[in-house]
Amino acid sequence: MMIYKVLRAEEWKALETAGETPGAPIDIADGFVHFSTAAQLRGTLDKHFAGLEGLVLLGFDADAMGPGLKWEPSRGGDLFPHLYGPLRLADVISSRPIPLGPEGHLLPDDMA
């Protein structure tokens, strides 16, 4: 199953440069890296990234993330994937920009 991480452009550049990161500021504060499923992604963008440009969508294979990936209740009681460990560039399967349109972020057709 694919899971997704949204990063700001500078966070993506830092991951590309260092090869791993503890995540975005919210991840560091919470002690784990926040991910979303495809079904949860729109809500994540609307709640945490509304109006922001320069976002990058990273795709990961949940089954390959190892025992550090836990599914825990969060927004609305839904189970969200949380990684207890660093976000590693080697685990990124896909990366693509998330454009900002007049009505909000434009997700790829396979996720809209």
Decide if 111 is inside a domain.
Answer: no
The 10 Å Cβ neighbour count of residue 112 is 9
Element (H, E) at 39: helix 38-48
Do 6 and 45 contact (CB within 8 A), yes or no?
yes
Give the whole-angstrom CA distance, residue 43 versus residue 75.
9
Do 10 and 18 contact (CB within 8 A), yes or no?
no
Count of the separate structural domains present in the chain: 1
Any idea what the CATH number is for the domain that residue 36 is in?
A: 3.20.170.20
Decide if 107 is inside a domain.
Answer: no
Decide if 105 is inside a domain.
Answer: no
Q: Is the pLDDT of residue 81 over 70?
A: yes
| 41-79 pLDDT tens trace | 999 999 999 999 999 999 999 999 999 999 999 888 899
Decide if 104 is inside a domain.
Answer: no
Q: Is the pLDDT of residue 112 over 60?
A: no
Decide if 17 is inside a domain.
Answer: yes
Decide if 110 is inside a domain.
Answer: no
The arithmetic mean of pLDDT across residues 14-40, rounded, is: 96
Instruction: Answer yes or no: pTM beyond 0.85.
Output: yes
Decide if 92 is inside a domain.
Answer: yes
Whole-number pLDDT of residue 80: 97
Q: For the chain, what is the mean pLDDT?
A: 94
Decide if 106 is inside a domain.
Answer: no
For 47, the domain range is 2-99
Do 106 and 98 contact (CB within 8 A), yes or no?
yes
Q: What amino acid is encoded at 4 in this protein?
A: Y
The 10 Å Cβ neighbour count of residue 91 is 17
Whole-number pLDDT of residue 111: 66
| 82-96 pLDDT tens trace | 999 999 999 999 999
